[in-house]
Amino acid sequence: MLNTLLSWRSIFQIGRVHKSMIQLLRGMSFLILMSVLSPSFAESSNPSFPTSSDKSFPQTIDDAIKQDGTARIIVFLDMAGLSPRNGVRQSREEMIAEVQDDFLKSLSSSQEPDAFGSMSIDETNIKKFAKFPFLRMEVNASLLKQIENNSLTQTVELDRLFFPNLSKSVPLIGGDEAWNMGYTGKCQAVAFLDTGVDGKHPDLVDKLVAEACFSVSGSNSLCPDELDEKIGTGSATYCPEPGNVCSHGTHTAGIAVANGDVKGVAKEANLVAIQVFHRNGGGLSAFQSDIIFGLEYVLELHEQGLDIAAVNMSLGGGKYYNQCDIGYSTLTTAIAKLRDVGIATIVSSGNRGYDDAIGAPACISHAISVGATDKSDNIASFSNSANILDLLAPGVGIKSTVPGGSYAYMSGTSMSAPHVTGAWAVLKSAKPSATLDDILTVLQDTGKPILDTRNDITKPLIQVDAALEMLNPPKPILLYGVHDAGLNNSHFFTIDTTRDVTELSVYPGYDIEGLDIHPQSCQLYASAGDDTSNPGHLYLVNKENGELTDLGSTGSQEVDALSFSPDGKLWGWAQDEGLLRFDDLPSATATLVVPYEGEIEGITWNESGTTLYAVQNVHKGHDPDSHGLDGNVRVLAYDGSEVTACELDGVKEIEALDTLPDDNLIIGYHEHDKLVIGVLNFESCSITHEEEISSPYNDVEGIAWF
């Protein structure tokens, strides 16, 4: 399947990323101290260097010297037996500086040239560390030999490169293999109850589909304007505290959904950011009530139609040997309610190093508790563990996003939980009908058994690719389409990664003309022409079975095309009226924004939302409804200031249009000999590829690229 998928994707240059769409008592405070959130606030783990697939990248010092003549190294100096000079008490920093100076002096008098000549010992190729007995140096073979033989040298290592991604944790759980299988979390959202998220980070931009903040009011609040609650754009922006105390939420969210230099487990999933913390002395804490308000908001979003796979709570406190539902009855009720509607609440087990207990709320029976492993698949020493623990995931030295467009390595069960949250989104996107228990079962049954030598308890380290195989999802869909048969009998169909065509449903007499998918919610919309009892109506299409929900009349007699702009605004084209805009979905009411008396068969926005493309079949000496060939096809592009045209002669009429990456357009033909999907490059004004697919659907009225 993989090779077929890759070949199919290469044909159409797949790369489109759909950016996928109160009051309770606050009497009980649930303080979650910053020191218990994760050791990430005080402890950073050095990552292992990744093996480069580029053979030109040197893996050893000798390789680097052979390749470039020199190598950048780090020298670890031996301070054993070093004592203060002249009986004067010295700081460690002063002692480090002296041993560094002694080392450099010992080298300067013993240079021997080699094939590359000798290298001078000066400040241009040396960098001293202040708090560690290290030196970074540029050396050739001659200088390297001198350093290796020096009595003050403890070790010498190559100054290796590290890469800004999750290459050391995502592959450990089979996440990259899941991507290769075509499952990336698309059309699912995950919610993070944390310290807020920097939605402007380049790896998270356009990920946020909803935001909220629930925080104690007044000067300690981390909500905008010191409110205790705010919902909407900007309400969950990472908090403006000094230092890195607020980076936690952005880091955990990136592990799950980032899609840039860093790629999270569910790289195409959407994000709901909910800030639940407030200032508490020099740190942060969260009231249980604010957490419940956050969970309640998730439930509201679910009821509004947003597909939320899981809630991530990388927070906790306390020590619980058994399930703790009785002690946290209100929080247990909220988590149980989310579970009832199929939303998993995934919670870090805590970082106290307990071998017989985990923290709250991970100890709640309806939550999914997660402990941490390192990159060698060993239990992390800080990870809480007990028989009631559900799953394991990587949590040591995880590189992810932090506010301001940067990256950082952090460690903790806080980093483990979002690996599971991302995995949950991948599995749910692959098989939306899977229940919460289905997903938990496959993750546990296919996970790699890891023995905790502290307590002889074995728990599963999640393996997303193996879980997918056991879950047995349908093949990923690439394209939704609608075919016009006979007297406007509309057939909805899909094309998957192996070119298999599947019929979803047939609607006799509906005359469906337009089709597109909402970039955030991934809901499929359709519009009708005039040859129907419901002319110009807007519909929701069930992607599972093609069932139509009538949203009402658009106010136009014939809506031939639909397209969502990247910001989630729906646009349509009404024949002999012009361009429509739908301002209040799911209401079908539309506003005419660009009057135009003519026929446009398809419209689509480019990926950045800066250009609107339209296709027009130019008829000459015949009735347009007869669809003759004595004309041509004109594709138009409007960039906000001018319209440019691409004229295609001698091709079948095009009635369906959608966007591929780099402004390539995918097209569907009217009354071809068979089902044919083409690719149009607007810049060269040429059809660069046509793919014939075995199917009776030869009159494609609308397509929606998935």
Q: pTM to 2 decimals?
A: 0.72
Please state the rounded mean pLDDT for residues 22-48.
30
Give the tens place of pLDDT for each residue, 309-356: 999 999 988 889 999 888 787 788 889 989 999 999 999 999 999 999
Phi/psi of residue 137, each to 5°?
-140, 155
The answer on pLDDT for 659 being more than 70 is yes
Question: How much is the pLDDT for 29?
Answer: 31
Question: How much is the pLDDT for 83?
Answer: 65
Start-end ranges of CATH 3.40.50.200 in the chain? 165-430
Q: Which residue has the higher pLDDT, 494 or 282?
A: 494
Question: Which class is domain 165-430?
Answer: alpha beta
The answer on pLDDT for 670 being more than 90 is no
Nearest one of 669, 672, 674 to 703, comparing CA atoms? 669
Alpha-carbon distance 473 to 434, whole Å? 9
Question: How much is the pLDDT for 348?
Answer: 94
The answer on pLDDT for 160 being more than 60 is no
40-54, 103-117, 127-141, 170-184: the lowest-pLDDT one: 40-54
Residue 648 pLDDT class (50, 70, 90 cuts):
confident
The answer on pLDDT for 115 being more than 70 is no
Question: How much is the pLDDT for 617?
Answer: 86
The answer on pLDDT for 28 being more than 50 is no
Question: How much is the pLDDT for 109?
Answer: 54
Q: CATH topology for 477-705?
A: Neuraminidase (2.120.10)
Phi/psi of residue 14, each to 5°?
-65, 140
Nearest one of 347, 209, 217, 342 to 274, comparing CA atoms? 209
Alpha-carbon distance 591 to 640, whole Å? 18
The answer on pLDDT for 66 being more than 60 is yes
Q: Which residue has the higher pLDDT, 356 or 41?
A: 356
Please pick, among 248, 278, 419, 672, the residue that the annotation labels catalytic.
248
Residue 216 pLDDT class (50, 70, 90 cuts):
confident
Structure tokens at 122: 């000066």
Question: How much is the pLDDT for 129?
Answer: 58
**Most confident residue range from 30-39, 214-223, 339-348:** 339-348
Give the tens place of pLDDT for each residue, 603-626: 999 988 899 999 998 765 444 444
Question: How much is the pLDDT for 651?
Answer: 82
Q: Is 429 a catalytic residue?
A: no
Please state the rounded mean pLDDT for residues 93-122.
69
Question: How much is the pLDDT for 81?
Answer: 65
Q: Is 194 a catalytic residue?
A: yes
Please pick, among 45, 215, 414, 416, the residue that the annotation labels catalytic.
414
Please state the rounded mean pLDDT for residues 667-688.
86
The answer on pLDDT for 57 being more than 70 is no
5-19, 297-311, 477-491: the lowest-pLDDT one: 5-19
Question: How much is the pLDDT for 640?
Answer: 83
The answer on pLDDT for 45 being more than 70 is no
Residue 9 pLDDT class (50, 70, 90 cuts):
very low
Percent of the chain having pLDDT more than 70? 83
Beta-bridge partners for 3: none
> With 0-12 CB in 10 A as exposed, 13-18 as middle and 19+ as buried, what is 214?
buried
Question: Whole-number mean pLDDT of the chain?
Answer: 82
Residue 580 pLDDT class (50, 70, 90 cuts):
very high
The answer on pLDDT for 54 being more than 80 is no
Question: How much is the pLDDT for 7?
Answer: 33
Neighbouring residues of 96: CB distance < 8 A, sequence distance ≥ 6? 77, 79, 129, 130, 131, 132, 133
Nearest one of 600, 594, 644 to 618, comparing CA atoms? 600
Please pick, among 194, 290, 374, 465, the residue that the annotation labels catalytic.
194
Question: How much is the pLDDT for 108?
Answer: 66
Alpha-carbon distance 439 to 391, whole Å? 12
C-alpha dihedral (22, 26, 30, 32), degrees to nearest 10: 60
505-509, 626-630, 702-706: the lowest-pLDDT one: 626-630
Nearest one of 515, 613, 493, 593 to 561, comparing CA atoms? 515
Kindly report the number of other CB atoms within 10 A of residue 500's CB atom.
14
Q: Is 414 a catalytic residue?
A: yes
Start-end ranges of CATH 2.120.10.30 in the chain? 477-705
Question: How much is the pLDDT for 21?
Answer: 29
Alpha-carbon distance 417 to 565, whole Å? 33
Give the tens place of pLDDT for each residue, 431-453: 999 999 999 999 999 999 999 99
